[in-house]
Amino acid sequence: MMDNHFQSCIPIQKEWDIVAARQQGRDFSKQIGFGAVDQARIATAISELARNIYLYAQKGAICFEYIEDMEHKGIKIIASDEGPGISDISRVMEDGYTTSGGLGAGLPGIKRLMDHFDIYSEEGKGTEVTIQKWLR
């Protein structure tokens, strides 16, 4: 159906790019075969990541990749930016921690929505969040 290397990226600069990114994520996960609930989870996770880029790093990109192993297929999403970075990762992973008067539920929420969550950030360099969801 899809080849392994398929990857596409949506640049995030304007608020409406967030909508474009999650639309792409929704279409892509539908193609892979995810049901309505997982599609909503994936679209919501993308929305959180894209909004964080827009709010804290001003610009960046969301990339999508089709993944598979012996038993399953799935989706991998990478959100990257060259913004200010995060100094204390464990702190931003706490429920309710926010520097913008938000709910502070984005990053810990994404972790619960997805099967795999990985964050790498360097102060002054940028942030990269990688998430995955497997089709069951």
Partner 1 sequence: MDKLLREIVLENSDHIVKKWLTEIDRKKADNYTVSISEELFESTNREFVNVIFSSVEKEGMLEDLHKFSERLIHLGWPLSYLTEGMQAFRRVTMNFILERSEEVDSQQFTEILEGVDQWIDPIVNFLVNEYSGNWENTVSIQRMALQELSAPLIPVMEGITIMPLVGTIDTERAKLIMENLLDGVIKHNAEVVLMDITGVPVVDTMVAHHIIQAAEAVRLIGASCILVGIRPEIAQTIVNLGIDLSNFPTKSSLQKGFRSALEITGRRVVNVGEEDDVENILDSLGKE
Ligand X SMILES: Nc1ncnc2c1ncn2[C@@H]1O[C@H](COP(=O)(O)OP(=O)(O)O)[C@@H](O)[C@H]1O
Binding stretches for partner 1 (CB under 8 A):
15-16, 19, 22, 36-37, 39-41, 43-44, 47-48, 51, 95, 102-103, 105-106, 108-109, 112-113
Q: Is the CB of 24 or the CB of 80 nearer to ligand X?
A: 80
* The entry of partner 1, ligand X, Mg ion, none that residue 44 binds, CB within 5 to 8 Å by partner kind: partner 1
Q: Is the CB of 41 or the CB of 66 nearer to ligand X?
A: 41
Q: How far is the CB of 76 from partner 1 (least distance, A)?
A: 19
CA 125 to each of CA 10, 12, 67: distance values in angstroms, whole numbers, following the listed order: 20, 17, 28
Does position 53 bind ligand X by CB under 6 A?
yes
Q: Classify residue 14 as exposed, middle or buried by CB count within 10 Å of its CB (0-12, 13-18, 19+).
A: exposed
Of the candidates 55, 56, 120, which has an alpha carbon nearest to the alpha carbon of residue 83?
56
- CA separation for the pair 25, 129 (Å, rounded): 15
